[in-house]
């Protein structure tokens, strides 16, 4: 509800619910913990549960923790601190904050907006998957617990559905019954009658076929002289582990269970064949899967309901969504640590492979994960901080959120690697071979675990409720970033925020519909790779250049003093400036250069994305990246042209630089408001008095 008296001079309308806030134009958080929990919920997301552990075992186990910690100290914490500080100081969203800090960097706001929009589309699709699994958990028998469904494969070319529970029951039957001593687990079930066994015996090349890699040596006469290359050829399994060249079928004396490498868990088949109905590639998009489309609609409806009043509603929801995942995580950790084989997974997790530290891709992955983990450069932190009171303690919040986020990842690693060790023990494979991608860790490994826990439907519901709340927190901030960008750009629409929220959610739903198609899983991984990786690194680098070199590191430190009295000693100040001016931007720049120079086409398991898809991925990535230089060149050229009409070129250049590289009056507006408020309240502890601050307009 609005009131005619609340109309502003610029035509915007000041909502009634903001009347008691310090910032009556945009509003503030209603409670002291609202921002902290929102920030923690935004940072602690799905990436902590599956992406961090996956990167650990992909990049040398415990060795990954070394570059991860270094990147946290020299990139993550500085960028996190910088973003919430400037957002709180200016009380502006990412679309407008950069253009007011230095108008030449106006394109950075557009980059933030576009990056958040792309991520928000596919992130809500993951939330839709969790909703589907939540409903699937309301049953006495989980549908992914066995291979007796219509979609399960009896025996495809290289994979066979494999249920660990049924496999163990078959082993018990074979060991304890003389009549079924020839029983084997194959075709998704335990086979003991003669007809089924004869079917396998009559077609060994089909049921035990494999791909044999023949090695060709530099010197055929001396096979110790290195391997030149390998060539895949048709092969045959002689037992559950050994694949040899074809033609040796006669060496198979007796039938045996599904070979280890052909085993595809029932949970994996359920995810790929029942939930996603996954096609063979992005070229085969197929039709919309309506069960996923309805779940996606439900996800956007939840987002709409939680954001209908902006931070006034989402700030209350996070009291539950930011704390509930920890409750579930510790319960699962306590259960997972006592699983058979869990110690193997933990050993892989904490014992580093130091040889991997020489691989630059490990360091690059650590840096990207820090941006994902702390949600830096996505615009969400600036958005959340822009609703803070001016004198909120950003140093305290940075320490709590950064430590809380990274400790969550570390603790989640123990729970997840315990599960991976258990599954590796059950499947008879190495830990690193249990799951092939990050998505599979959340929607394959854990669902498979809960099928062997008493009360499996309850534990399944609890786990996916945790994933749902983890994703919801992050999606709140992503969508709020988009909303704040729109409303800061067009403040006259603030009185119609409910309508704007509805429009954003509707557009997001329709943009996400391609992800519900049969090829949607490929599109999701495609967006995750191109929309969030390079753009976020580039945005982080540009933010550091803007704040430290254009706006000025001294001005930034003065602003920090005015916000919360931040005034480090000489040594701390020197280290602070060295990190911001040299270490942080240099690390990001090196990582970007290495990533681009070592680029390889995107893959998903064995599938290689076509060149057209990768080319389109570059377009998506560089929409955000090129927005910064393109807008800068346009603004500089047009401003210089206007100034050159009335001034000599040298004076025109000076005026152009002054207009585009210095803060606007809007940048200092929130600080001015806080200064006047402090003066009225007689508060001189904030740092405004007795200190010359070039970043602040004085009365």
Task: List, as residue ranges, the binding site for Na(+).
Answer: 41, 43-44, 48, 373, 405, 470, 473-474
Q: How far apart are CA 377 and CA 115, in angstroms?
A: 9
Which parts are annotated binding residues? 41, 43-44, 48, 373, 405, 470, 473-474
DSSP string over 630-656 = HHHHHHHHHHHHHHHTTS-HHHHHHHH
Q: Measured between alpha carbons, how far is 451 from 459 in angstroms, rounded to an integer?
A: 9
CB atoms within 10 A of CB 494: 22
DSSP letter, residue 61: B
478 neighbors 378 (Cβ within 8 angstroms): yes
Residues 603, 522: Cα–Cα separation, whole Å:
9
Q: What are phi and psi of 524, to 5 degrees?
A: -60, -50
Written as one string, the DSSP assignment of 246-274 is TT-GGG--S--SPPGGGEEEHHHHIIIII
H-run or E-run covering 506: helix 497-512
Q: How far apart are CA 206 and CA 191, in angstroms?
A: 17
DSSP string, 465-494: HHHHHHHHHHHHHHHHHHHHHHHHHSGGGG
Q: Where do the H-state alpha helices sit in 337-455?
A: 342-350, 360-374, 380-385, 394-427, 438-440, 446-450
Separation of alpha carbons 144 and 162, rounded Å? 10
Q: What are phi and psi of 608, to 5 degrees?
A: -105, 125
What's the first-to-final CA gap in the chain, in angstroms? 34
Distances 411 to 94, 349, 523, 541 between C-alpha atoms, Å: 32, 11, 31, 30
Smallest CA-to-CA distance from 90 within 688, 559, 482, 490 is with 559
Burial group, residue 644, by CB count within 10 angstroms (0-12, 13-18, 19+): middle
Closest-CA residue to 382 (of 695, 672, 109, 671): 109
What is the DSSP code (8-state) at residue 143?
Answer: T
């Amino acid at each position: 509800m609005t009131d005619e008296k609340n109309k502003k001079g610029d035509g915007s309308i000041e909502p009634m619910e903001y009347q008691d806030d310090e910032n009556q134009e945009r509003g503030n958080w209603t409670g002291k913990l609202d921002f902290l929990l929102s920030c923690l919920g935004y940072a602690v997301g799905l990436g902590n549960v599956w992406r961090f552990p996956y990167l650990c075992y992909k990049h040398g186990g415990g060795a990954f923790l070394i570059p991860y910690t270094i990147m946290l100290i020299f990139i993550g914490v500085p960028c996190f601190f910088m973003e919430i500080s400037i957002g709180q100081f200016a009380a502006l969203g990412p679309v407008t904050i950069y253009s007011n800090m230095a108008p030449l960097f106006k394109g950075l706001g557009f980059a933030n907006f576009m990056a958040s929009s792309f991520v928000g589309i596919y992130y809500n699709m993951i939330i839709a998957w969790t909703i589907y699994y939540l409903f699937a958990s309301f049953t006495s028998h989980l549908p992914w617990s066995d291979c007796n469904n219509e979609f399960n494969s009896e025996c495809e070319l290289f994979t066979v559905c494999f249920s660990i529970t049924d496999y163990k029951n078959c082993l018990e039957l074979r060991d304890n019954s003389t009549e079924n001593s020839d029983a084997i687990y194959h075709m998704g079930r335990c086979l003991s009658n003669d007809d089924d066994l004869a079917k396998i015996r009559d077609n060994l090349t089909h049921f035990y076929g494999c791909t044999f890699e023949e090695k060709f040596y530099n010197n055929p006469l001396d096979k110790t002289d290195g391997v030149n290359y390998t060539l895949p050829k048709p092969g045959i399994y002689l037992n559950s582990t050994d694949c040899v060249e074809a033609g040796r079928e006669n060496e198979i004396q007796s039938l045996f269970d599904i070979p280890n490498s052909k085993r595809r868990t029932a949970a994996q088949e359920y995810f790929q064949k029942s939930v996603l109905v996954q096609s063979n590639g992005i070229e085969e998009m197929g039709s919309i899967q309506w069960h996923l489309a309805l779940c996606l609609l439900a996800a956007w409806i939840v987002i709409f309901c939680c954001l209908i009043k902006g931070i006034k509603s989402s700030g209350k929801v996070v009291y539950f969504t930011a704390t509930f995942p920890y409750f579930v995580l510790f319960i699962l950790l306590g259960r997972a640590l006592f699983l058979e084989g869990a110690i193997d997974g933990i050993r892989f997790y904490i014992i580093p492979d130091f040889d991997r530290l020489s691989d630059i891709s490990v360091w690059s992955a650590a840096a990207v994960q820090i941006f994902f983990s702390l949600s830096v450069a996505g615009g969400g932190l600036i958005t959340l901080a822009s609703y803070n009171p001016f004198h909120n303690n950003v140093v305290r919040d940075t320490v709590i959120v950064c430590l809380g986020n990274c400790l969550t990842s570390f603790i989640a690693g123990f729970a997840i690697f315990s599960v991976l060790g258990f599954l590796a023990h059950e499947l008879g494979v190495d830990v690193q071979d249990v799951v092939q991608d990050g998505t599979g860790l959340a929607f394959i490994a854990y669902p498979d675990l809960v099928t062997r826990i008493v009360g499996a439907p309850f534990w399944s519901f609890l786990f996916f409720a945790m994933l749902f709340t983890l994703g919801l927190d992050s999606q709140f901030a992503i969508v709020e970033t988009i909303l704040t960008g729109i409303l800061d750009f067009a403040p006259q629409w603030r009185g119609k925020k409910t309508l704007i929220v509805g429009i954003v959610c509707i557009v997001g739903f329709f943009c996400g519909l391609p992800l519900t198609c049969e090829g949607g899983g490929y599109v999701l991984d495609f967006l995750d790779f191109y929309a969030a990786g390079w753009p976020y690194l580039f945005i982080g680098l540009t933010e550091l250049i803007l704040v430290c070199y254009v706006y000025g590191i001294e001005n930034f430190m003065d602003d920090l003093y005015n916000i919360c009295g931040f005034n480090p000693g000489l040594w701390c100040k020197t280290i602070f400036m060295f990190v911001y001016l040299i270490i942080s931007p240099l690390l990001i720049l090196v990582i970007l250069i290495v990533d681009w120079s070592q680029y390889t086409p995107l893959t998903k398991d064995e599938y290689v994305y076509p060149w057209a898809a990768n080319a389109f991925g570059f377009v998506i990535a560089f929409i955000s990246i090129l927005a910064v230089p393109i807008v800068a060149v346009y603004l500089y050229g047009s401003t210089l042209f206007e100034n050159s009409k009335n001034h000599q070129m040298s004076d025109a250049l000076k005026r152009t630089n002054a207009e585009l590289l210095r803060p606007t009056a809007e940048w200092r507006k929130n600080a001015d408001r806080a200064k006047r408020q402090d003066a009225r309240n007689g508060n001189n502890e904030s740092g405004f008095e007795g200190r010359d601050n070039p970043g602040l307009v004085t009365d």
